[in-house]
Chain A
Amino acid sequence: MKAYDLAELAVRNLRESVLRNSLTTIGISVGVASLVAMLSLGIGLQQMATRRLVKSGLFDTVLVTSRRDLRNFNRGDDQGEGLDPAQSPALDEPSRKKIEQLPNVVEASPDLRFITSFTYDDKPHLTMVAGIPPSYRTNDAFEGMQGSFFSADDAPEVILQKSFAADLRGKTAKPGSDEVPVTELAKPLLGKEMTMRYAEQVDGSSAGGSSEDKSKDPANAGTSYSIVSHELKLKIVGVTDLDPDSMRGPVRARVLLPLKLLQSLHVVQPTALRDTTQATSKVPTYATVSVRVKDPAKIQAVEDSIKKMGFNTFSMLDATRSLRRFFTILDLFLGIFGSLALAVASIGIVNTLVMAILERRREIGIMKAIGGSDGDVQKLFFVEAGVMGAFGGAVGVALGWTIGRIINAGTNVYLRRQDLSPEQIWFVPWWLVIGAIVFAIIVSLISGVYPATRASRLDPVQALRYE
């Protein structure tokens, strides 16, 4: 019989005992739904974790340092490739631009940080300052921040870490005591001004303070530079809820300024002194450049090409690798648990089809008497099982999708009660939709093997005698 005829007859036969076949199909649906719900939860959790990691900037960031930076000299074994530190390229502005133009690189921003003193309410406070690029607006370090992110790339504004805000207000939490909520800390500070003292590096040979270099070639005539003390008034726009001791890479400072603003100040860097003893061009040089990569999976490639340029790199690639392994195992287990219901449903298919053979004994006999072969009868039962699987699979995916949505909504209600931002913990990719339906059909077909074979072996003489 042709495939189309088989399908048509199968659907017709299924409709003949609508209730029983519907119940069986619902059984398959529930099995598929549980599989889809479990797997979509696993996938959703994995995506959430990946998303959070990407947002944290830990896993899509490569830290680049110059090999001239002797801090990494002992690591030269695996990274130096015989290059003498003195001959390796300087991590300066042209190199930064070159890195930024590498494929898969989103941005390469210099890591500017120094210790300086702030005056707030006439009291001095000494702390670490860091410049952050505008792209950090989406970093999860600023989730739960009070106030707002910088209004412009070079606005004279400042974001404080929670602990520094506590210091400013003289409310430093004692170990073991309850932390003061960030909302309470931030309220009186937001919009206030504080003064930053900093040391500007002014090119000694040039007349004004407009020079862009902070280091000079010692062989040059004007090798000296002077340091001029400045004060800058900064408006407090935000207080972050982040633990200052957590490993937030570039955010690892208690006071954060827009990177562009900080660059324009030409603050003396700790590397400046060392640089005066080395041959450099008259361009800014950086101790560290943070390179953000489009996709954590591309980290290795980017790292390799930066290394080829002659710099040292550091990333947390291995952490994402083990994370992926963990989620693969989690998905596997969730899939197995989800499949249990489908296994039960497949027994339902066997039962329904065996019942159908008993009921349709005569019909099978008639089909054989008028020329239906064993194969025709077998295929017909087989296709009936497959059609139930296809229907059950489709309904099951819809059901699983709904269950996932409900779980997600419920979780978000709970998260909101805990004052946490909602999360998408559930995700149904298209391959899961198709895969679940195909899986349901395959399971149904396997369940149909026994009943179909039994039906095809029926003796037509016996079957026709049967009333």
Chain B
Amino acid sequence: MTAGATSDSSNIAIRADNVCRHYAMGESLIRAVDGISIEVPAGEFVALLGTSGSGKSSLLNLIAGLDRPTSGAVIVEGKDLARLSRENLAQHRLHTVGMVFQSFNLIPSMTVIENVELPLRFAEVERGRRDALAREALDKVGLSKRLNHRPSELSGGEQQRTSLARALINRPKLLLADEPTGNLDSRTGTEIMNLIRQFNESLGMTIVMVTHEKALAGQYAERLISLADGKLVDDQPNVATVSTTSSTGGRA
């Protein structure tokens, strides 16, 4: 926990309070997340760093409401996710967070625009409005021309743009990205990261990005949180980016 970041901001987007997530795998107990406490103010760009199996993805899933903690509390936008019903957790995933994944996770049988507007179907948005919103979101990620292609006909970068548009469609406050550039070459990866930073700056979205690439995190995130064996090992502001982003003055 960084003292400087929490004390002056009443607007906390994410607060994890001694959160644990333990799995029983056969005879042994896996402590994927083991007593982590963090606070992320609204609008911050946080990178979760760690090696494979460090628990960074598990923590992200807890914030996303895809999983429930074994103990402790995860409070996102004022709601304790551990206490939400399954239905309310789905509402949380639908409206409060947007997710992008390393493997894009687009539905292969649907076209680009259908994939993007799928969350709107769950939100029961009218057809006409759905189409307009999907086009707008695709326009924001620079993918307004391949609306009726299927994911398999797109490049990795285009797929990740589609997935970003889908994550944005319900205008969530948080964007959770799990190794978003992991399947992309460095040039496309940079494009995607620039888009994410743009959302952070222009839309004021809180970003939590899981990555194992320290260099990437150092280039974009304001704050670097390192995990190992489910425990927090390091949490500090990224001096390099804080100075650059504060000069642009994107957020409160």
Contacts and interface: CB of A to CB of B under 8 A. Distances in A.
18 contacts: A2-B124, A9-B121, A12-B110, A16-B109, A367-B107, A367-B122, A368-B90, A370-B93, A370-B98, A370-B118, A371-B94, A371-B95, A371-B122, A373-B87, A460-B66, A460-B67, A464-B101, A464-B105
B214 interface: no
A376 B122 contact: yes
Interface string A1-42: 110010001001100100000000000000000000000000
A368 B90 CA distance: 7
A460 B106 CA distance: 14
B90 A12 contact: no
A374 interface: yes
A371 B123 contact: yes
Given A12-B109, A461-B66, A464-B105, A373 B91 contact: yes
B93 A368 contact: yes
Contacts of B64: 369
Main secondary structure of the interface of A (DSSP, over half): helix
Interface string B160-200: 00000011001000000000000000000000000000000
Given A1-B121, A461-B67, A371 B93 contact: yes
Given A370-B166, A373-B122, 7 more contacts: A2-B124, A9-B121, A12-B110, A366-B107, A370-B167, A371-B170, A372-B90
A311 B118 CA distance: 78
B166 A369 contact: no
A218 interface: no
Given A13-B109, A374-B86, A374-B87, A367 B118 contact: yes
Given A368-B66, A373-B87, A460-B66, A1 B93 contact: no
B contact residues, range: 20 to 34
Nearest to B64: A369
Contacts of A16: 109
A363 interface: yes
A375 interface: yes
A374 B109 contact: no
B31 to A, nearest CB: 16
Contacts of B109: 12-13, 16
Top 7 A-B pairs, shortest CB-CB distance: A371-B94, A373-B90, A371-B93, A5-B121, A366-B105, A371-B122, A370-B119
Contacts of A460: 66-67
Interface in A317-363: 362-363
Interface string B97-125: 01101000111011000000011011110
A1 B170 CA distance: 15
A59 B95 CA distance: 72
B117 to A, nearest CB: 10
B241 to A, nearest CB: 28
A436 to B, nearest CB: 31
B37 interface: no
Contact of B119 (A9, A363, A371): A371
A9 B98 CA distance: 22
Contact of A370 (B67, B86, B122, B124): B122
Contacts of B238: none
Interface of A: 1-2, 5, 9, 12-13, 16, 362-363, 365-376, 459-461, 464
Contact of A375 (B87, B107, B110): B87
A366 B122 CA distance: 12
Nearest to B124: A2
A371 B66 contact: no
B144 interface: no
B206 to A, nearest CB: 18
B18 interface: no
B61 interface: yes
Contacts of A464: 66, 101, 105
Interface in B108-149: 109-110, 118-119, 121-124
A376 to B, nearest CB: 6
A5 B64 CA distance: 25
A459 B101 CA distance: 17
A368 B119 CA distance: 10
A369 B124 contact: no
Interface in B56-106: 61, 64, 66-67, 86-87, 90-91, 93-95, 98-99, 101, 105-106
A459 B67 CA distance: 8
Nearest to B99: A369
Contacts of B86: 373-374
A365 B170 CA distance: 18
A373 B66 CA distance: 11
Given A16-B109, A366-B105, A371 B90 contact: yes
Given A16-B109, A369-B66, A369-B99, A1 B91 contact: no
B105 A372 contact: no
A459 B86 CA distance: 11
A401 to B, nearest CB: 34
B52 to A, nearest CB: 13
Task: Point out which of A366, A369, A372 has the most chain B C-beta atoms below 10 A from its C-beta.
Answer: A369
Contacts of B87: 373-375
Nearest to A9: B121
A365 B109 CA distance: 15
A430 B64 CA distance: 53
Contacts of A371: 90-91, 93-95, 119, 122-123, 170
Contacts of A367: 107, 118, 122
Contacts of A459: 67
Contacts of B122: 1, 367, 370-373, 376
Nearest to A372: B122
Contacts of A366: 105-107
B128 to A, nearest CB: 13
Contacts of B66: 368-369, 460-461, 464
B26 to A, nearest CB: 16
Of A365, A375, A376, A464, most B-chain CB atoms within 10 Å: A464
Nearest to B90: A373
Interface centre among B106, B118, B170 (most CB of A within 10 A): B118
B99 A370 contact: yes
